[in-house]
C-alpha cells in the first residue's frame, strides 16, 4: 500500500520498468499488449502519490495541482483507454455516462490531498474525499470491462478493503499495481 514516498515511488518504478521490459522484449498479442498499456496508466498514480508524499501533503500549489488535475486525469485516462481504445466501444449513452462520471471524478477530487494518519497504511485521501463503495465499483467496471471475473473479485474485495483499512482506500493502487505487475511478468514471459 502507498504509505510513504519510497513505497509509492518504488511501486511506480517496478511497475513501469516491468511493463516497459515486457513491451520491448516480448511480442505480445493485442489483448496482452493492451493489458500492459493499462498497467502503465494504472500505475502512474504511484508517481502522483509519491509527489504528494514528497510534498508532505502540504496545502500548496503542488498538492492542489496534483490532486485537482493530474490524479483525475490519470483516473480518466484509465476509463478512456479501456472503453475506447482497448474495447473500441462507441455508444451514445455510454459516452454520456463516461463524460458525466469523469466530470464527477474531477469535481470529487478537486482540492488538496491529506494523509489518513489513524492506520498503518496512511494512504493519501485525494481531495479530502473518499470513494464510496459504488463509486469504486463503477470505476472498476469502467477500467476492467469486459473482464467479469476481475469485476466480481473487485466487488467482493472492495467491502473487505473498506472494512480493513477504514479510509484512504481510494489511492491504495500500490498493492494492485504490484500484483498486476508480478502476474503479467509471470504470465507474459
Look at the chain and report how many structural domains it folds into.
1
Are 12 and 51 in contact, with CB atoms under 8 Å apart? no
pLDDT tens-place values along the chain, 189 residues long: 457 889 889 999 999 999 999 999 999 999 999 999 999 999 999 999 999 999 999 999 999 999 999 999 999 999 999 999 999 999 999 999 999 999 999 999 999 998 866 555 567 888 888 888 888 889 999 999 988 888 888 888 777 777 776 666 655 667 788 888 999 999 998
Residue where the block lists cell 474495447: 87
Q: Which three cell numbers stand for residue 146?
A: 469486459
Are 19 and 36 in contact, with CB atoms under 8 Å apart? yes
pTM over 0.75: yes
Q: Which residues pair with 114 in a beta bridge?
A: 125
SS3 of residue 56 by DSSP: coil
Domain of residue 132 covers 5-188
SS3 of residue 187 by DSSP: helix
Amino acid at each position: 500500500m502507498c504509505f510513504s514516498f519510497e513505497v509509492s515511488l518504488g511501486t511506480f518504478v517496478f511497475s513501469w520498468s516491468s511493463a516497459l521490459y515486457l513491451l520491448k522484449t516480448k511480442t505480445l498479442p493485442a489483448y496482452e499488449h493492451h493489458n500492459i498499456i493499462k498497467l502503465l496508466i494504472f500505475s502512474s498514480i504511484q508517481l502522483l502519490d509519491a509527489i504528494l508524499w514528497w510534498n508532505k501533503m502540504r496545502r500548496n500549489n503542488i498538492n492542489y495541482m496534483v490532486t485537482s488535475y493530474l490524479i483525475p486525469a490519470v483516473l480518466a485516462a484509465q476509463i478512456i483507454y479501456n472503453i475506447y481504445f482497448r474495447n473500441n466501444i462507441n455508444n451514445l449513452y455510454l459516452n454520456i455516462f463516461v463524460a458525466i462520471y469523469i466530470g464527477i471524478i474531477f469535481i470529487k477530487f478537486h482540492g488538496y490531498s491529506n494523509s489518513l494518519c489513524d492506520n498503518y497504511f496512511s494512504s493519501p485521501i485525494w481531495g479530502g474525499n473518499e470513494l464510496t463503495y459504488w463509486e469504486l465499483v463503477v470505476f472498476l467496471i469502467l477500467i476492467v470491462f469486459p473482464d467479469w471475473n476481475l469485476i466480481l473479485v473487485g466487488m467482493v474485495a472492495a467491502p473487505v478493503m473498506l472494512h480493513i483499512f477504514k479510509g484512504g482506500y481510494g489511492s491504495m493502487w500500490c498493492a494492485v499495481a504490484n500484483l498486476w505487475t508480478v502476474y503479467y511478468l509471470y504470465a507474459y514471459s
